[in-house]
Amino acid sequence: MSARLELDRLWPMLLGLVALVAGALALEIYAARRGNATVHVAIAAEASAAGDEEEAGAGVDSERAGQEPPVSPEHARARVAVRRHLTAEALPLLEEALKAHPDSAAVEADLGETFLAGAAPERALPHLLRAAELRPGAHASYRVGLARARTGDREGAERDLRHALALRPGYAPARLTLGSLLRKSGRVAEAIALLQAAASTGSNEERARALVGLGAAHLAADRRPEATQAFDRAILYAPARAEIRLRIAKAWLGTEAAEDVPRAVQVLLRAAELAPDLAAVHATLGLARERSGDVAAAAETYDRALRLDPANRFARRRLLRLALQSRDFLRAQHEAERLVADGPDVPEHHFLVALVADRQGRIADARRAYQKAIEVAHGDYPEAYLNLGVLERGAGDLAAARAAYAKALALKPAYPAAWNNLAAVEEAADDPKAAEADYRKALALDAGYAPGWLSLGQLLSRVGRLPEAEDALRRALAARPGSGTAQLALGDLLVRSGRPAEAVRFYRELLARDGRDVAGWFALALALDASGHRPDARDALAHALAIDPGHVPSRRAAAQSDLAAGRVEDARRGFEELLDLVPGDLGARAALAAILSREGDRAGCEQRARQLRAEAPQDPHVRALSCSPPGGPAAPATR
């Protein structure tokens, strides 16, 4: 029974913990290896596992609810559904109760708190404001402040929380939330002072909670000894409370420092001994194990959390992320669909269904799910519009992609990823001037935005503005040191600028970090060839093909190298293998025709050349084909 009570207290905190981008998702940005860098929003590691103190009060306050009887049978059933975490069932009942009793502070408060627990603070705030108007007090002001904090209105949140404390100076939840707010705002000294005072009064549990908040504030000030002391005192005040240890572990994880992960694991293992049936402990232990690099143990721990509580969304989202990482799309699809079944009113759940379908190549399903996420969010979901734009561009519908990015920007004008992607659409539409303007808008918003510098550099390189392109690509590398994509692009530019030796150095740095980068070996081969080191270039191509025998550019370059060196039989075999990989490849067919000429069969070459010119007169391989006498030129190597 005690474990169930613990779960009821911690579930709202866990819902708050799993916030991803824009209040529900965290951003994970990635760029294509070649070409302009279209940016997705994807699942990232949850922004922080820190046990933010304000989460302790999320959800319907059971003490208040017990003091205020329900106003109708619908209201009573809604409260039961909330206690069972059946939000989709509770909300319609609460809305029905509110229609019948529009001036009920209790219904307004319950409705607002249910939205708050469901990570929808924007929808919660109007109801909590109305409840505070109907029945003002410290608790009402606290809840409004909590909702404002979660919408990002820190100034308004501080005002309401201070008002709650003015009405009730010893109100522990308001003090803890205000302390957390001050810490997040960078006012760490104020947070420490407030939480030190809070830790000196109240019940043992209230002091323990305040000490956890104080420890988190010390961590924000990089004062680990003081944080450890505060955490140790918190445990002394509440030695049997697994929730306190859980909060301490989340504070350690919230630093994002590798050195603090073992501390979190140690605390969580003890919490699991105290409350072996508490799903929240195992879900957070799974995150700690994931942070430590033990993915298999993390997945097993998340699974245990779900066996204890199938409604644990945090564990399910983490399992979904791990499944995507391992390309286990069926598992990812199962977890995403279960999230929607458990919380159809949560926009991010539909977003995750779309993301999985997108990764699987189920374009129509992904489009429907992104649109459903936008619908459930009442149109306010710029990240979903961004991904929808990426999907439409991939499907070849530039107009639909442009419209989706415009929607994202209308909702969130300061959105570098959307400007970057809109620029890529303009570039694909052969409007480099508009593309450059949009890339520069992204960079004006964030001068350290690596995808923007990369895309701008690639665009400038393509239009021949090589010095400016080099500057942009070097800025991309400065913003994201070691970026393989930027190194490849810069190396290519250096080769085109007549500086292949510099390119070789970039490529060797890349391959020193990742010796299995096929594109890196291929690019190195071209740079070595341009530098006159043809035997080394041939070795680099051999490395690329050993890693990926189906890498078409390397296969073509190796065959062309053989042909240029007079190894005709090797060249013929290479081009024939290329045709096995890419039937009908014009470059391979043109090269085989040239080989006929080199062997003295000029008539055979001419016959094939006429056929190729009829099929593809503008193809560069076909145009370069010459049935010259043996020893004549061969087609140049191409990427």
pLDDT on residue 217: 94
Average pLDDT over residues 277-306: 95
pLDDT on residue 50: 37
Structure tokens at 475: 């800025």
Beta strands in 421-485 (DSSP E): none
Whether 84 shows a pLDDT value over 60: the answer reads yes
Instruction: Give pairs for 157-165: CB < 8 Å, separation 24+.
Output: 157/181, 158/182, 164/138, 164/139, 165/138
The values of phi and psi at residue 413, to 5°, are -60, -35
Q: Which helix (H) or strand (E) element contains residue 634?
A: none
Question: Which pLDDT tens digit goes with each residue over 408-417?
Answer: 999 999 999 9
Whether 47 shows a pLDDT value over 70: the answer reads no
pLDDT on residue 628: 74
pLDDT on residue 21: 28
Q: How far apart are CA 481 and CA 288, in angstroms?
A: 27
The CA–CA distances, whole Å, from 496 to 203, 386, 437, 456, 508 equal 72, 34, 25, 17, 18
Q: How far apart are CA 561 and CA 383, in angstroms?
A: 47
Task: Say if CB 492 and CB 503 are below 8 A apart.
Answer: yes
* DSSP class per residue in 421-449: HHHHHHHHTT-HHHHHHHHHHHHHH-TT-
Whether 585 shows a pLDDT value over 80: the answer reads yes
Whether 56 shows a pLDDT value over 90: the answer reads no
Whether 126 shows a pLDDT value over 60: the answer reads yes
Average pLDDT, the chain: 86
pTM, two decimal places: 0.71
Whether 630 shows a pLDDT value over 80: the answer reads no
pLDDT on residue 439: 97
Average pLDDT over residues 339-344: 89
Written in H, E and C, the secondary structure of 163-174 is: HHHHHCCCCHHH
Average pLDDT over residues 145-159: 91
Report residue 122's pLDDT band, with 50, 70 and 90 as the boundaries.
Answer: confident
pLDDT on residue 632: 46
pLDDT on residue 454: 96
Domain 50-185 has CATH 2.30.36.70: no
Question: Which pLDDT tens digit goes with each residue over 343-377?
Answer: 888 899 999 999 999 999 999 999 999 999 999 99
Bridge partners (DSSP) listed for residue 390: none
Report residue 629's pLDDT band, with 50, 70 and 90 as the boundaries.
Answer: low
Question: Which pLDDT tens digit goes with each residue over 521-549?
Answer: 999 999 999 999 999 999 999 999 999 99
Listed by start position, the domains of the chain span 50-185
Average pLDDT over residues 243-261: 93
Whether 489 shows a pLDDT value over 60: the answer reads yes
Average pLDDT over residues 398-412: 96
Whether 51 shows a pLDDT value over 50: the answer reads no
Amino acid at 549: P
